[in-house]
Amino acid sequence: MNRRIALIGSGNAFFKDEGAGLYAAKYLKENFDFEPEIAFIDGGTLGFKLMPLLMEHDDVIIVNTASEDDGEAGTISVKSCDEFLDGTLIKKTANEVEIAEMLQICSMSEHTADTTLVSIVPDDIITVEVGLSDALVSAWPEYVETVLKLLQTCGVSAKRRSGVVPLEAILHTFAYPSIEHGRGF
């Protein structure tokens, strides 16, 4: 039986680095083919509305930002749900609070996906701008590679497509979304 795997991009694209999880999920979706296929979900700031997804899938990877006491901007961490909840998470945004609370509630459910969080420490979550700070742009290749390696441990292989959609184009898509032109998640 094939495991149902979902990659959820979480964050708020309107507050600079807080959108990193959304940008990462979109970047992976646009630049790679996955075998077996995985579900890409724009988790945005849905928080508690993500609960059904954790119960419908076997493996869930959430890519997001997470503030850490001892982490410098651009620092990447991979944590299980339990590690994320027991860690040094500083809840600086409503999204961080809701993700943590949603994971706590789901952990009490009979069936919850094996959930892993790939988080990057943000530098700027105050500026109202679609974009990434220099620290996160520098860490971008490692952030993407970390997610790809985690997918590989779930039995998913990734093949890079020939036409690469650069990070700048992904950011442009979030800054100027248009369903009419096929933009968006």
pLDDT tens for each residue of 78-105: 988 877 777 655 566 666 667 777 777 7
Pick the range with the lowest mean pLDDT from 60-64, 104-108, 119-123, 169-173. 104-108
pLDDT single digits (tens) 17-76: 999 999 999 999 999 999 999 999 988 777 777 888 888 899 999 999 887 666 799 999
Conformational region of residue 51, where left means phi above 0, alpha means psi within -120 to 50, and beta covers everything else: alpha
Predicted local distance difference test score (pLDDT) of residue 22: 94
Cβ partners under 8 Å of residue 49, min gap 6: none
Predicted local distance difference test score (pLDDT) of residue 181: 56
**2 within 8 A of 118, measured Cβ to Cβ:** no
Q: Torsion angle, CA of 48/74/171/144, rounded to 10 degrees?
A: -80
171: closest CA among 9, 7, 19?
19
The mean pLDDT of the chain is 86
Residue 169 has pLDDT above 80, yes or no: yes
Residue 167 has pLDDT above 70, yes or no: yes
Q: Exposure pattern of 160-184 as b/e (b: 16+ CB <10 Å)?
A: eeeeeeebeebbebbeeeeeeeeee
**99 within 8 A of 10, measured Cβ to Cβ:** yes
Predicted local distance difference test score (pLDDT) of residue 67: 75
Domains of the chain: 5-175 (3.40.50.1450)
pLDDT single digits (tens) 137-148: 999 999 999 999
Cβ partners under 8 Å of residue 164, min gap 6: 31
Q: Cα(first)–Cα(last) distance of the chain, in Å?
A: 28
